[in-house]
Amino acid sequence: MELHRWKMEEQQKLEEARLAGEAALALAAQEKAKCKAAVEAAEAAKQIAEFEAQKRMDAEMRVLKDSEDRKKAMECLPQADVKYRKYTIDEIEVATEYFAESRKIGEGGYGPVYKCYLDHTQAAVKVLRPDAAQGKLQFQQEVEILSFIRHPNMVILLGACPEYGCLVYECMANGSLEDRLLRRGNTPPIPWQHRFRIAAEIGTALLFLHQTKPEPLVHRDLKPANILLDQNYVSKISDVGLARLVPASVADHVTQYRMTATAGTFCYIDPEYQQTGMLGTKSDIYSFGILLLQLITGRSPMGLRHHVDRSIGKGTFAEMLDPSVQDWPVEEALCLAKLALKCAELRRKDRPDLGTTVLPELNRLRAIGEENMQQVVLGNSFQTASEVSLQVRF
């Protein structure tokens, strides 16, 4: 009986071992099949990725070829096609008193700016730096763009001296938006009503550039230093020398266009454009968002998006408003700040559309500012009339 029991136990162990071996073989077969399927899937994914990469490369090559063809066509155009008032260097030297330091009103990366009178008109002359690497290209492009387009909120080019790289603009009495926000020269602060109007004006001019036919125009260097103000604080966009024409086919379908090198000013450059070189009309929207934040805070652009966003979350947004303006409408300013933060989203696809979303809100805020300004004027008029009446009575 003991032998029989031992024999049965041994047979059971052998049977269990056999079943375990079969199970192990079956599991190995399954793993092998899974591995084979994974390898096949990886190969298929690799082929698809290579196909997509090839498609993108072909598309980029076509865009670059179109750009080169357009550039060659533009170079083949005779200089006479660009019609503008040509000044001689003698006229400009006499008007600026031979570029006297007392006539100098500004200095930028492009070169110094001088105030003068030309053709009995107050003008500003911007002079190309001899050492400016891209200066001549920017000069030519600015002349071409400003000679062909007209908009109430785009600076007017009065003429140029191509031989010496001098651009002659209408003179803007209040200088740049940056100078007025920083109150350089101890100038008075810009009232909030004017700031709301300036925001809408810049948005309108920017949309005009983006809707330029036959190809959209991307400014690429939108910032307060490139926004000029006249004596009535009407704003105008200047310095379009870095602007780029984006092919209409690309702008309609992809909204991006690969550039060989990024351009613009740090803190205002679209992060996606800076990293990838892909340029689109929404690249300007990011710069516009940072500009709007500066318009209501009067602060440096460095880290401004983060500070405003954090203050809104903590409920301390009112502390971020420009303290030089005492009568801010906090609720309306908060609406403008939230809109600016949306414009300054890091991902391009998260930024709102300028024509359908941004401008309607800016025009609403502009109307609020203008209505408030009219009420203030009427109130002052009524007060003045009352004072006159009292003086007559007594």
Q: Tokens representing 149? A: 């387009």
**CA neighbours closer than 13 Å in the CB half-sphere of residue 103:** 22
Q: Tokens representing 147? A: 């000679």
Evaluate the CA torsion angle 151, 156, 162, 164 in order and state its sign: negative
Is 131 a residue of the active site? no
Position 321, amino acid: L
Helices 330-343 and 304-314 pack at an angle, to 10 degrees, of 130
Determine the distance from the C-alpha atom of residue 89 to the mean position of all C-alpha atoms in its chain, rounded to a whole number: 35
From 255, 322, 325, select the one nearest 292 (Cα to Cα).
322
Give CA–CA dist 91/176, Å, rounded.
Answer: 26
* Secondary structure of residue 59 in the 3-state scheme: helix
Q: Which of 221, 239, 270, 284 is flagged as catalytic?
A: 221
Position 34, amino acid: K
Q: Does the N-terminal peptide bond of residue 271 adopt cis geometry, omega within 30 degrees of 0?
A: no
Is residue 3 classed exposed, middle or buried when 0-12, 13-18 and 19+ CB atoms within 10 A define those classes? Answer: exposed
Catalytic site positions = 221
